[in-house]
Amino acid sequence: MSISVQLNVNGKSVTLDCPSNTTLVDLLRERLELTGTHVGCDTTQCGACTVHLNGRAVKSCTILAAQCEGAEVTTIEGLGDTDNLHPMQEAFRECHGLQCGFCTPGMIMSAVDLVHREPAINEQVIREGLEGNICRCTGYHNIVLAVESAAKKMRN
Amino acid sequence: MVEQSIGKSVLRKEDQRFITGKGRYTGDIDLRGQTYGYFVRSPYAHAVVGEIDTSEAESMSGVVAVLTGKQVAEDELGGLPCGWMIHSKDGGEMKQPLHPVMAATKVNYVGEPVALVVAESFDEAKNAAEHVSVDYEELPAVVSTAAAQSAPDIYTEAPGNTCYQWELGEKEATDAAIEGAAHVTRYTLTNNRLIPNALEPRAAIADFNTGTEELTLYTTSQNPHLARLILTAFVQIAPEHKLRIIAPDVGGGFGSKIFVYSEETALAWASMKLGVAIKWTAERSESFLADAHGRDHVSDAELAMDEEGNFLALRVKTTANMGAYLSTFASAVPTYLYGTLLAGQYKTPNIYVEVDSVFTNTAPVDAYRGAGRPEATFLLERIVDLAAKELGIDPAELRRKNMIQPADFPYQTPVALEYDIGDYEASLNKAMEMADYAGFAGRKADSEANGKLRGIGLSCYIEACGLAPSALAGALGAGVGLWESGEVRVNPTGSVTVMTGTHSHGQGHETTFAQLVASRFGISVDDVEVVHGDTGKMDFGLGTYGSRSLSVGGSALSVAADKVVEKGRKIAAHLLEGDVDNIDFEDGEFRLKESNRSKTFQEIAFAAYVPHDYPIEELEPGLAEKAFYDPVNFTYPAGTHICEVEIDPETGVTEITKFTAVDDFGTIINPMIVDGQVHGGVAQGIGQAMLEQCVYDESGQLQTGSFMDYCMPRADDLPKFTVGMTTTVCTHNPVGAKGCGEAGAIGSPPAVINAITDAVGVRDISMPATPEKIWRAVQEVRS
Amino acid sequence: MYDFNYHKPGSIDEAIQLFTGAEDGVYLAGGHTLLPSMKQRLASPTDVIDLAGIGGLSGIEDVDAVLEIGALTAHDEVATSSVVQSEIPALAELASLIGDAQVRNRGTIGGSVSNSDPAADYPAGVLGLGAEIVTNKRSIAADDFFTAMFETALEEGELLTKIKFPKPEAAAYVKFPNPASRYATVGVFIARTGSGVRVAITGAAPSVFRSTDMEAALNGEFSVEALEGITLDAGEMNSDLHATAEYRAHLCTVMAKRAVRKLL
């Protein structure tokens, strides 16, 4: 079955037809060529596909495109670009919070939502708050530092 | 003058694209008109393949073709080879059953590819794959490593499912030393099987151009040239000059992307056969089944000592699981990367190790971060700890007593290696200080007052990296050289393009190598671009594994940079009207001695490409140099890791309260990147020690086939790490570096288990030390 | 995921009608159980009926002695609701322990409870608090709702619309998570109510259950010591790679004690 879906992605209105079984991540990657959002598993565990849906972090592999009718979606590409980095993107670079970069977009999107929703950011809150994102490279040490650092900047 | 950046934590050049979602991984690439591949995989661990009926699948919507293992056989493709010949102790060659690109007559593990469906969309390929009907006649499966040699044979050419029976060291002397020893500590252990799980699943796109007859293969590889060589020389898919392999951004490897697998090989073959581009991206469930796994040893070890605790001899018998086929480097892992490391940091005069490698009906097992060295280190650092407990000596003191001392270098071990340099006690001392080893008793008392158990564990590891002199490796059975290539191309404006045969998939070469070259030329790191991962762009190279990139690949670049400077001095001599012997190069300037005359690096580059005033009769124009660097020895990173844990005895839940790693990696170019490598390695080591375990059931079905069951370390499983360095500079490569990629995964597992067993007061807990195992051990101690 | 017909009805009646007319229909709430199983091709419904377009299925209402939580209320909303945090803090705590942050932003209470996953957290809260499950046609007591592994008293097509949680005197939830999946290996919910103590345990057995032994002991004396010596029958427990039945039985008692300790 083909459906029509209208949504707003990174500030741009998008209307397209797609099969009903299209997931949000497929729509982003395959239709809109926003390949910064990655797929690292097929069981809703790894978090590499994390984007913001109406301002909240979600796993875009486990949402149908159809469920996003009228929604606002922000991906890593919409968070900030080279000339205008989001403090979280900047902090990941400054703290060496990434190595291979594959989990990074999802990790950053989760971290931004975490800082937005948690009133007090500390190591434990960060570690528990990022349990939905797997990184195989960094051992999370520098990711924790990056989120701590970005949180300070985001609060200022 | 540009600031010299060696030893500075320069932020990574590559990060800009990754933090903005502009990385370009294989799965991000789409080619015009591409089709999609999906593999039909064996649901059985061991079965005869009968008829394969593809007719229904072929008639389905969007299907381009269905190709089977039978067609692979008809096309007479070669098997996937293993690149290291191991000889058994009787002199016989290892058994190497055909590893077909896709199975034609028999399947030997769950997930083995049997057919490839090519369709216009991924969904259509996957749907059709469900309608490929394969007749299987199931056979009994061999799963257990320990029992494989007494199980029915999987291959007639490998009786007792034995691939080889290898030995190293002096048997008689070792036996005699053990027999006469005052004390012998014995230990039987399992090194748990792991699944690498780089976060980017493997992927490939094969694109055959029928006009040029060129095949381009994009693939998630740590070593694209090696993949090309294998596909060309062994599988004979395409001539080497017509095959271009591109490994773009790769999302982690940890060894698992060294190997040449069925999938990309089948894709390359199918693309040529069908004349279309085909893309395949593994679903994680496929990765679990079909990526090469790691570790999987069972061993018996005996350590003999005199009354004072001086080590006299070590005897080891290991059975190593190879899985169903010999993967690309599988045979070398439990032999030359394992047995040779059993001396560790100690002056044990007699060592003898026997390794039987066995076939089972499980996924192939090959190198995973550390590869052989974690297995050796775990065995040694656990048995040393047990010996300390048995003798009533502090584990740190027993280690110290037996350590090779700085004055002993170069030190020839009884297991083939010659260590060039190190200062093991320096790392031990610094680690003990950073971990506040002396204050442990007080912390333990505090924990006990709160009803908790507390333990501390050490591990003093050594590894052999940057392998190796090619001639030596060849003599030991390696099928390839182990040098590395590098090219330093100075552009006319003085910026530099660096080509390396190594591959970065998280290690930060684009920054580290730029620092290395920029510092040499006195130019900015921003003016150096590092290019890697494309056989169409750079010279043949061996890729990235075994912590070799800086010590071997960096050395090649260092030599090439030397050549650039030498040529630059000649050009400068001409321009400055002096003798070349009187030209110095420093801080980016060529200066004529005893004069105030100089030329900048940029001026010399320009002169080389615009040779109007140039010694054209003696010197070619241009300023680009290559080097192929063959190491003269392994490098020997070493260090001490200390783990401290607190255990809730009611549940067995264990918290790592502090993890300290002090490592000696020789010269460090970028401390930030090196610390990151240690963090990641330690995280994987802690994963092995406490969380991760690949489990097959008796019929060979994978029980840990997703992140729902295979326990990956998450942020809340791990502590912050305390990382320190000591330095002895590698004596034999121009960079002075030893390699840092694997140390964390090698040093940490025994430190964790030593800490947990110390806390519980029990002799052994097998990896992974899960809460239930620890809880049971606590019950045992208390009853 | 196989192809399916997607529907987004505007009312409960329309949803029921669509379900009745479908060959193999399924309701979609947050989708965090359904979509993973469809992606794994373990579920292949012909028709997916998205409930998101139906008004009134989401939200939390404080109605005298009861908290009413709409079926489509996301876990995070329950976890962070000031009403839930003040009236039944244990329920907010339970919701905050489900899955991970992204899952809590999408997964819903109705979806979780309807699914009756033996390792899900919510069933412990629903049963522990003696909640009432309201559907399009009736109200079902929690004690009658969870019938077996992945099975509930819901009839074919019957739609869970909200859950009414009676406010307890006090309650606590303590969870021992599966280290890989983060579902409950064992989760114990203890509530002190006007009609006595209720102890509901999830993760341990094929379906959430009440421990009558623990309830009797705690009704006798509400103390950690009262649970001393109570060991659940390992023969009734689940066993898997991460925890044997014996360990699970042990954890039930330990987690129950910890829940009691939180209430003292």
Inter-chain contact B691–C179, Cβ cutoff 8 Å? yes
Chain A residues in contact with C6 (beta carbon < 8 A): 1, 3, 20, 64, 66
Q: For C180, which of B708, B771, B772 is closest by C-beta distance? A: B708
Nearest alpha-carbon partner for B498 in B458, B525, B461: B525
**Mean pLDDT along residues C114-143:** 97
Q: Are residues A91 and A73 in the same domain?
A: no
Going by pLDDT thresholds of 50, 70 and 90, the confidence category of residue B467 is confident
Q: Which residue is closest to C36 within chain B, CA to CA?
A: B708
Distance from CA of C230 to the nearest CA of A (A): 32
Going by pLDDT thresholds of 50, 70 and 90, the confidence category of residue B368 is very high
Domain around A93? 87-155
Residues B208-240: tens digit of each pLDDT: 999 999 999 999 999 999 999 999 999 999 999
Q: List the CATH number of the domain containing A41.
A: 3.10.20.30
Q: What is the mean pLDDT of chain A?
A: 97
Strand order in the sheet with B311-323: B162-169, B350-359, B311-323, B297-305, B183-191
Residues C231-259: tens digit of each pLDDT: 999 999 999 999 999 999 999 999 999 99
What pLDDT score was predicted for residue A65?
98
pLDDT reading at B1 higher than 70: no
Domain final residue, candidates A62, A79, A96: A79
Angle (nearest 5°) at CA B566 between B560 and B570 = 145
Domain final residue, candidates A27, A46, A79: A79
Residues B85-107: tens digit of each pLDDT: 999 999 999 999 999 999 999 99
Going by pLDDT thresholds of 50, 70 and 90, the confidence category of residue B748 is very high
Distance, CA of B610 to CA of B533 (rounded, Å): 31
Inter-chain contact C241–B775, Cβ cutoff 8 Å? no
pLDDT reading at A15 higher than 90: yes
Residues A33-44: tens digit of each pLDDT: 999 999 999 999
Interface test with B, best of A31, A140, A143 (most B CBs within 10 A): A140
pLDDT reading at B468 higher than 90: no
Distance from CA of B194 to the nearest CA of A (A): 13
CB of B250 closer than 8 Å to CB of B25 = yes
Q: Which residue is closest to B686 within chain A, CA to CA?
A: A139
| Ordered domains of chain B (ranges, CATH) | 18-23+34-139+202-281 (3.90.1170.50), 297-467+633-782 (3.30.365.10), 483-629 (3.30.365.10)
The chains found to touch C (3+ Cβ pairs under 8 angstroms) are A, B
Distance from CA of B678 to the nearest CA of A (A): 9
Inter-chain contact B707–A123, Cβ cutoff 8 Å? no
Per-residue three-class SS string for B634-652: CECCEEEEEEEEEECCCCC
Inter-chain contact A139–B718, Cβ cutoff 8 Å? yes
pLDDT reading at B131 higher than 70: yes
- The ipTM value here is 0.98
Q: For A67, which of C50, C80, C103 is closest by C-beta distance? A: C50
Q: Are residues A98 and A74 in the same domain?
A: no
Q: Which residue is closest to C181 within chain A, CA to CA?
A: A45
Q: What is the mean pLDDT of chain B?
A: 97
Interface test with B, best of C4, C37, C44, C242 (most B CBs within 10 A): C242
**Mean pLDDT along residues B685-691:** 98
Inter-chain contact A48–B199, Cβ cutoff 8 Å? yes
Residues B411-454: tens digit of each pLDDT: 999 999 999 999 999 999 999 999 999 999 999 999 999 999 99
Q: Are residues A104 and A41 in the same domain?
A: no
Q: For C180, which of B651, B707, B776 is closest by C-beta distance? A: B707
Distance from CA of C31 to the nearest CA of A (A): 7
Inter-chain contact C254–B650, Cβ cutoff 8 Å? yes
CB of B463 closer than 8 Å to CB of B638 = yes
Angle (nearest 5°) at CA B66 between B64 and B70 = 150
**Mean pLDDT along residues B654-680:** 98
**Mean pLDDT along residues B713-728:** 98
The chains found to touch B (3+ Cβ pairs under 8 angstroms) are A, C
Q: Are residues A7 and A74 in the same domain?
A: yes
Angle (nearest 5°) at CA B439 between B438 and B441 = 100
Neighbours of B214 (CB within 10 A): 16
Chain B residues in contact with A131 (beta carbon < 8 A): 714-716
Q: For C4, which of A20, A129, A132 is closest by C-beta distance? A: A20
CB of B503 closer than 8 Å to CB of B512 = no
Q: Which residues of A touch C (CB under 8 A)?
A: 1, 3, 19-21, 23, 42-45, 47, 50, 53, 56-59, 61-64, 66-67, 69, 110, 113-114, 117, 129-133
**Mean pLDDT along residues B701-726:** 98
Domain final residue, candidates A79, A112, A130: A79
Interface contact C234, partner B, CB < 8 A: no
Chain C residues in contact with A113 (beta carbon < 8 A): 101, 105
Tell me whether residue B771 is exposed, middle or buried, using C-beta atoms within 10 angstroms of its C-beta: 0 to 12, 13 to 18, 19 or more: buried
And the tokens for B59?
Answer: 């008639």
Q: Are residues A61 and A94 in the same domain?
A: no
Interface contact B505, partner A, CB < 8 A: yes
Q: Which residue is closest to C251 within chain B, CA to CA?
A: B651
Q: Are residues A11 and A75 in the same domain?
A: yes
Q: Which residue is closest to C248 within chain B, CA to CA?
A: B772
Q: For B18, which of A45, A101, A136 is closest by C-beta distance? A: A101
pLDDT reading at B111 higher than 80: yes
Q: Are residues A13 and A30 in the same domain?
A: yes
Interface contact A99, partner B, CB < 8 A: yes
pLDDT reading at C63 higher than 90: yes
Residues C161-198: tens digit of each pLDDT: 999 999 999 999 999 999 999 999 999 999 999 999 99
And the tokens for C117?
Answer: 């996953």
And the tokens for B666?
Answer: 């020789």
Strand partners, B647: B453, B654
What pLDDT score was predicted for residue A35?
98
3-state secondary structure of C106: helix
Tell which phi-psi region holds residue B577, choosing left (phi > 0), alpha (psi between -120 and 50) or beta: left
Q: Are residues A52 and A104 in the same domain?
A: no
Interface contact A39, partner B, CB < 8 A: yes
Q: Scanning the structure block, which residue is given the tokens 């005052």?
A: B182
Q: Are residues A26 and A50 in the same domain?
A: yes
Residue numbers of A between 69 and 88 with CB closer than 8 Å to B: 75-77, 80-82, 85
Nearest alpha-carbon partner for B677 in B505, B510, B529, B519: B505
Q: Which residue is closest to C34 within chain A, CA to CA?
A: A62
Strand B589-592 to B583-586 pairing: antiparallel
Residue numbers of B between 631 and 650 with CB closer than 8 Å to A: none
Q: Are residues A9 and A72 in the same domain?
A: yes
3-state secondary structure of B498: strand
Q: Are residues A20 and A50 in the same domain?
A: yes
**Mean pLDDT along residues A126-130:** 98
Domain count, chain A: 2
Q: How far is CA B780 from CA B103, B188, B776, B777, B783, in A?
A: 48, 19, 6, 5, 5
Residue numbers of B between 102 and 141 with CB closer than 8 Å to A: 123
Radius of gyration over alpha carbons of chain C, in Å? 18
Q: List the CATH number of the domain containing A141.
A: 1.10.150.120
Chain A residues in contact with B24 (beta carbon < 8 A): 35
Distance, CA of B394 to CA of B381 (rounded, Å): 14
Global pTM? 0.98
pLDDT reading at B463 higher than 70: yes
**Number of residues assigned to chain C:** 264
| Ordered domains of chain C (ranges, CATH) | 5-52 (3.30.43.10), 60-263 (3.30.465.10)
B760's CB contacts (< 8 A; 6+ apart) are: B453, B455, B647, B774, B777, B778, B781
DSSP string, C63-78: ETTEEEEETT-BHHHH
Q: Are residues A33 and A63 in the same domain?
A: yes
Inter-chain contact A45–C39, Cβ cutoff 8 Å? no
What pLDDT score was predicted for residue B2?
75
Interface contact B593, partner A, CB < 8 A: no
